[in-house]
């Protein structure tokens, strides 16, 4: 049973504990279980109050069972099911006895909507406790009363911020905004619920009404300003590619302007419509993919790891150390000397202090986190460590020297390289035990980017894969495993994408036109800004590494990045690249501006108009085709991993679901024809992968 009832001291404890799962999810069984128990408790004279509490250690309710959505064939059938759920929460809200949500651990989506229907909400201050309404990330809106109850609970500005971003809210933030009525220690949760029940039963508890601007922007005509600004921001950020945010605004507006029943009806209708859009189908496909890779695929059971080593304490190295320590693992952070190592540790401390100031972490939690990081300049401090990750310069000889240094103090160490382009098999040549060498390719900034690309060679052992994967899971990463090769997967499909942008500049395209075409298509940043962000030196290095492979296929890679780097122009980190960046601490915040001097490397300042559609098609399709080649050659083990890598690592438009999901939706035949036209016009770099014609001919799908 997912729901059990315990009665004691006049309280009915509804315990949520889905058997065999780490988390509770709102599914048909849970909803039906709630309904039966409420029938029983409504007439029960002994129970004076009801408390929802979880039997899981770090989870209240993780949200609704999204996989249920695909079991409904019609909108009408789906809407009927949604109404059962909203009717249940209505019943909780109007229940004649006090109903309390006692929340420890994650409370997401439908779980938070259930809590909003309760009369009182208690959050623990445990590090695992957090809440969110992340439905927008699935192309949906909070469809169980969230758009109706949240604005009235925390005020319209806070509610729109939560619903339009899916952002995570922590206990102290929740208390400040009125989402939590009480915050307590996890071991005092039951006692707090008993106290709250007594307060509610006696009538002593009165929730404070919204005040100030929160009240004005929620309960007066001034809310029109909030809705207007929200729509303006949404359209600017989404370019109209995502229908859900605008529907969230529409639903929230209905809840504040119309009758209660009309508001809920509007929400239900909008939710049903969104569930059947291609955008939501794409985003749900990504979600299922992310869920599927949460299990370690190695045949060898991962050994327990209490600490790892991190070589390199720069931005990447300190970022990797940060997420590792956040996952509960101690990190020996080594750099060339102690001073450099402590500088890297200082970057981590700075981020932790920000979280303390925002009350995301308590002082105690921050101190415990920082205590897990040990900066050092001595290789001997890595003795006995099972896994070491390096994030140093892309210099093969340097990496070989580090391997020898680490193997000398820890002979059986798994050595993981964060290289973005050097073949792992080449790095492994410097090891006594090449089977212990693996790639762990992180993305910058490490704390925010969700992807980890693990690269295995023909020699990589199952133990190495198992250990690397387990560490990645502890770091909270979504992991794809790919085979070794030039650029692996993500760098390999990024290289022709960047190259095409440089070729367009050589043909006379303007920087602004290239950027607008790709952000309009759905990329979060344009390719030119991306070159500046990763560094022109890195782009030049990657181009040189991958150039032989592309030349062998008849392509003609641009050499512009190498020439620009040769002039000492580095991109954002150097203050100037394709854009000029204001100096830090220069007072008033200024925006970056296009560096028109860069055109000297592309034939001069005269620019010509190239159609936005041509720019978009050339750049998007060359990346998609490279993804197909990676699948064809066995670099990728599945289209699912290809979609996750492109979206989570490179920003391929999420609403399209990734290269392979997009081909399925758009049609393999159409993609093949478009590539054929581009090949005829621009040459062999657009020659379609053989696998595409195969799928087009047989009408097959890459993603089921």
Catalytic residues: 453
Virtual torsion, Cα 528, 533, 537, 541, nearest 10 deg: -80
Q: How far apart are CA 56 and CA 186, in angstroms?
A: 12
**How distant, in Å, are the alpha carbons of 337, 442, 657 from that of 469?**
29, 13, 24
Give the start-end residues of each E strand in 476-521: 478-483
Q: Which of 477, 439, 479 is nearest to 456 (CA)?
A: 439
Residue 452 CB: number of other CB atoms within 10 A? 28
- Write the CB contacts of 61 (distance below 8 Å, at least 6 apart in sequence): 16, 23, 24, 25, 26, 54, 107, 108, 109, 110, 111, 114
> Nearest-CA neighbor of 625 among 657, 663, 653?
663
The number of angstroms, rounded, from the C-alpha of 586 to the middle of its chain's C-alpha atoms is 32
Answer yes or no: are the C-beta atoms of 119 and 98 closer than 8 Å: yes
Cα(457)–Cα(591) distance, rounded to whole angstroms? 44
Question: SS in 3 state form for 559-602?
Answer: CHHHHHHHCCCCEHHHCECCEECCCCCCCCCCCCEECHHHHHHH
CA distance 572 to 591: 12
Q: How far apart are CA 239 and CA 344, in angstroms?
A: 38
User: What whole-number distance in Å separates Cα of residue 497 and Cα of residue 659?
Assistant: 13
Size of the chain, expressed as the number of residues it contains: 704
Measured between alpha carbons, how far is residue 363 from residues 347, 370, 592 in Å? 17, 11, 36
User: What is the C-alpha to C-alpha distance for residues 253 and 261, in angstroms, rounded to an integer?
Assistant: 13
Q: Hey, what are 45's tokens? A: 């004279």
CA 643 – CA 645 distance, rounded (Å): 5
Contacts by residues 680-683 (CB-CB < 8 Å, ≥ 24 positions apart): 682/618, 683/554, 683/555, 683/556
Tokens, residue 317: 């190295």
Tokens of 338: 């102690």
DSSP H helices, 166-222, are 171-177, 189-202, 212-219
- Which of 203, 155, 197, 152 lies closest to 176 in space, CA to CA? 155
Query: What are the phi and psi torsion angles at 412 (to 5°)?
Result: -100, 15
Report how far residue 180's alpha carbon sits from residue 198's, in angstroms, rounded to the nearest whole number. Answer: 17
Is the CB of residue 542 less than 8 Å from the CB of residue 486? no
**Of the candidates 538, 542, 544, 537, the residue with the CA atom closest to the CA atom of residue 566:** 537
Place of tokens 């001291």: 9
The answer to whether 275 and 67 have CB atoms below 8 angstroms apart is no
For tokens 């133990």, the residue is 463
Task: Report CA-CA distances (Å) from 269 to 37, 136, 253, 262, 629.
Answer: 28, 16, 14, 10, 42
Nearest-angstrom CA–CA distance, 231 and 253: 12
Structural tokens at position 294? 């949460």
- Tell me whether residue 530 is exposed, middle or buried, using C-beta atoms within 10 angstroms of its C-beta: 0 to 12, 13 to 18, 19 or more: buried
Q: Report d(CA 571, CA 298) in Å as an integer.
A: 40
Report residue 31: phi and psi, to 5°.
-65, -45
Write down the residue that tokens 């620009």 correspond to: 564
């Amino acid at each position: 049973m997912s729901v059990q009832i315990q009665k004691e001291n006049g309280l009915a404890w509804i315990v949520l504990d889905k058997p065999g799962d780490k988390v509770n999810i709102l599914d048909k069984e849970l909803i039906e279980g709630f309904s039966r128990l409420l029938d029983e408790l409504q007439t029960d004279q002994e129970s004076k109050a009801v408390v929802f509490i979880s039997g899981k250690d770090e989870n209240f309710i993780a949200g609704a069972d999204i996989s249920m959505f695909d079991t409904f064939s019609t909108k009408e059938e789906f809407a009927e099911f949604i109404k059962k759920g909203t009717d249940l929460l209505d019943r909780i809200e109007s229940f004649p006895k006090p109903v309390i949500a006692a929340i420890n651990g994650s409370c997401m989506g439908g779980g938070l909507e259930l809590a909003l229907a309760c009369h009182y909400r208690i959050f623990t201050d445990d590090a695992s406790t957090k809440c969110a309404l992340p439905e927008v990330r699935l192309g949906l809106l909070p469809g169980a009363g969230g758009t109706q109850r949240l604005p009235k609970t925390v005020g319209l500005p806070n509610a729109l911020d939560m619903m339009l971003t899916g952002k995570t809210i922590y206990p102290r933030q929740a208390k400040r905004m009125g989402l939590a009525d009480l915050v307590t220690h996890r071991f005092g949760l039951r006692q707090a619920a008993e106290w709250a029940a007594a307060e509610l039963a006696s009538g002593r508890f009165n929730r404070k009404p919204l005040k100030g601007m929160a009240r004005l922007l929620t309960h007066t005509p001034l809310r029109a300003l909030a809705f207007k600004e929200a729509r303006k921001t949404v359209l600017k950020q989404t370019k109209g590619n995502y229908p859900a945010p605008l529907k969230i605004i529409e639903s929230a507006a209905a809840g504040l302007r119309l009758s209660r029943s009309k508001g809920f009806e509007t929400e239900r209708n909008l939710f049903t419509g969104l569930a059947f859009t291609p955008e939501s189908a794409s985003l749900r496909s990504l979600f299922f993919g992310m869920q599927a890779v949460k299990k370690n695929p190695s045949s060898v059971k991962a050994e327990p790891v209490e600490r790892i080593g991190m070589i390199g304490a720069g931005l990447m190295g300190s970022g990797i150390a940060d997420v590792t320590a956040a996952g509960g693992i101690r990190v020996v952070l080594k750099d060339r000397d102690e001073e450099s190592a402590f500088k890297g540790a200082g970057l981590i401390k700075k981020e932790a202090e920000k979280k303390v100031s925002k009350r995301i972490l308590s002082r105690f939690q921050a101190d415990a986190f920082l205590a897990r990081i040990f900066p050092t300049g001595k290789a001997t401090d890595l003795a006995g460590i099972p896994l070491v990750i390096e994030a140093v310069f892309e210099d093969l000889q340097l990496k070989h020297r580090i391997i020898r240094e680490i193997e000398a103090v820890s002979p059986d160490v798994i050595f993981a390289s964060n290289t973005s382009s050097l073949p792992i098999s080449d790095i492994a040549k410097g090891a006594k035990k090449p089977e212990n060498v693996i790639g762990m390719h992180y993305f910058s900034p490490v704390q925010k980017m969700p992807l980890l690309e693990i690269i295995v060679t023909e020699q990589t052992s199952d133990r190495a894969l198992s250990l690397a994967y387990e560490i990645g899971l502890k770091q909270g990463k979504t992991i794809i495993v790919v085979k070794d090769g030039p650029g692996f997967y993500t760098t390999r499909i990024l290289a022709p994408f960047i190259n095409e942008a440089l070729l367009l500049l050589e043909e006379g395209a303007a920087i602004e036109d290239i950027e607008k075409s790709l952000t309009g298509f759905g990329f979060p940043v344009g390719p030119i800004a991306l070159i500046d962000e990763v560094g022109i030196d890195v782009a030049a290095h990657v181009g040189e590494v991958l150039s032989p492979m592309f030349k062998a296929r008849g392509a003609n890679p641009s050499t512009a990045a190498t020439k620009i780097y040769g002039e000492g122009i580095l991109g954002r980190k150097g203050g100037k690249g394709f854009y000029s960046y204001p100096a830090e601490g220069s007072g008033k915040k200024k925006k970056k501006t296009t560096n028109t001097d860069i055109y000297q490397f592309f034939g001069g300042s005269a620019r010509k108009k190239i159609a936005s559609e041509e720019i978009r098609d050339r750049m998007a399709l060359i990346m998609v085709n490279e993804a197909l080649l990676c699948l064809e050659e066995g670099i990728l083990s599945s289209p699912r991993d290809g979609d996750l890598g492109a979206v989570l690592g490179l920003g391929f438009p999420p609403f399209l679901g990734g290269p392979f999901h997009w081909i399925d939706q758009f049609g393999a035949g159409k993609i093949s024809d478009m590539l054929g036209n581009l090949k005829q016009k621009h040459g062999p770099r657009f020659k379609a992968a053989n696998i595409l014609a195969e799928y087009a001919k047989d009408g097959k799908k890459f993603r089921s």
